[in-house]
Amino acid sequence: MSGETTSPERVDGSRPEFGSATGGPVMLQVPSDARMGRVARLAASSLAAMARMTIDELEDVKIVVSEVLAALIEHGDGDDITIRFDVADHRLDVSGYTTAIEFAVDGAEIALSATVLAAIASEHSIGHREGQLLIRATYLASTHEDPPASGASA
Amino acid sequence: MTGIDSSDPLIVRIAADDVIVVIGEIDLAGGSILEAAVAEHESERPVVLDLEAVAFVDSSGLRSLLGMRRRASERGTLVVLRNPSAEVLRLLEITGTGDQFSIESGSESDAE
């Protein structure tokens, strides 16, 4: 062990995206318990910091993951909630799922969560298929830039 | 005030004039704690919540506040949000629910 704490920089000076070259995604499995909200927010804000987001953006990410987790706890039937984080530069994708025997995707019960996700996340989706409730949200920081189209660099 | 458990995301204190001071995070867990604390102090008087020290709120917490507002309305009174933090104000704005509450800023509440 070298003890070096250098950033994950390639020989050519470029930085790999989190979630790919660093061996992601990051998976969080928690009991379906309202008290887990703080755990999920802490994980999400740490990952958002790794994605080089600002303090205000970290606060946004905390709301996004809290909405995802709370909706899964309230509307799911599973004992556990699984949340997957895919981290890239100035971008965080959050996907959460749990068992749900029945769920009305357009029901009034989840409308407030959907309103908040629509306002804060760049995109989101709420789906129910084959007994699983799945909620996805993507947060793009203000400084996020899409990677160049494939073939643009040698 | 109920006993404080360090695992609780929220602390609720009853201050002078029955103002309910809320400290911490109003999420799914915190919202339940707040609702229970407020239910113990329901009366014909307005429910005054001091939200200056609320560091986080999400839609599940907002639903708790809206539930309090509905119950207060059934009793013929209202819910006052005193000194709501920036986090609270932002969520009220996003969801368009600010008009469900009476909101007092610092200068208004100081003047009373």
ipTM for the predicted complex comes to 0.88
Crossing angle of helices A55-75 and A111-120, rounded to 10°: 160
- What's the CA gap between A133 and A96, in Å, rounded? 8
Question: Residue with structure tokens 């643009």?
Answer: A152
Question: Residue with structure tokens 């947060």?
Answer: A139
Which pLDDT belongs to residue A98?
97
Mutate to test the interface with B, among A41, A66, A67 (most CBs of B within 10 A): A66
Indicate the pairing of strand A80-88 with strand A91-99.
Answer: antiparallel
> Considering the entire predicted model, what is its pTM?
0.84
Q: Is B107 on the interface with A (CB under 8 A)?
A: no
Answer with the residue of higher pLDDT: B4 or A146. A146
CB neighbourhood size of A27 (10 A): 10
Which pLDDT belongs to residue B9?
81
- Single-letter code of the amino acid located at A30: V
How would you write the pLDDT of chain B (112 residues) with one tens digit per residue?
A: 444 555 678 999 999 889 999 999 999 999 999 999 999 988 899 999 999 999 999 999 999 999 999 999 999 999 999 999 999 999 999 999 999 999 998 756 554 4
Which pLDDT belongs to residue B17?
87
Q: Is B10 on the interface with A (CB under 8 A)?
A: no
Distance from B94 to chain A by nearest Cα, in Å?
A: 7
- Residues B9, B15: contact at Cβ < 8 Å? no
**pLDDT tens sequence across A30-87:** 999 999 999 999 999 999 999 999 999 999 999 999 999 999 999 999 999 999 999 9
The DSSP result for B66-78, as a single string, is HHHHHHHHHTT--
The sign of the dihedral angle between the CA atoms of B101, B102, B105, B106 is negative
Mutate to test the interface with B, among A61, A74, A116 (most CBs of B within 10 A): A116
Which pLDDT belongs to residue B2?
47
Taking one residue from A and the other from B, the number of pairs with CB-CB distance under 8 angstroms is 53
3-state secondary structure of A95: strand
| Beta pairing partners, A5 | none
Put simply, the answer to whether B29 touches A63 (Cβ < 8 Å) is: no
- What's the CA gap between A124 and A120, in Å, rounded? 10
pLDDT band at A112 (very low <50, low <70, confident <90, very high): very high
Put simply, the answer to whether A112 touches B95 (Cβ < 8 Å) is: yes
3-state secondary structure of B106: helix
Mean model confidence pLDDT for chain A: 84
CB neighbourhood size of A68 (10 A): 28
Percent of chain A at pLDDT > 70 equals: 77
Half-sphere exposure of B23 (CA within 13 A, CB side): 9
Which pLDDT belongs to residue A21?
37
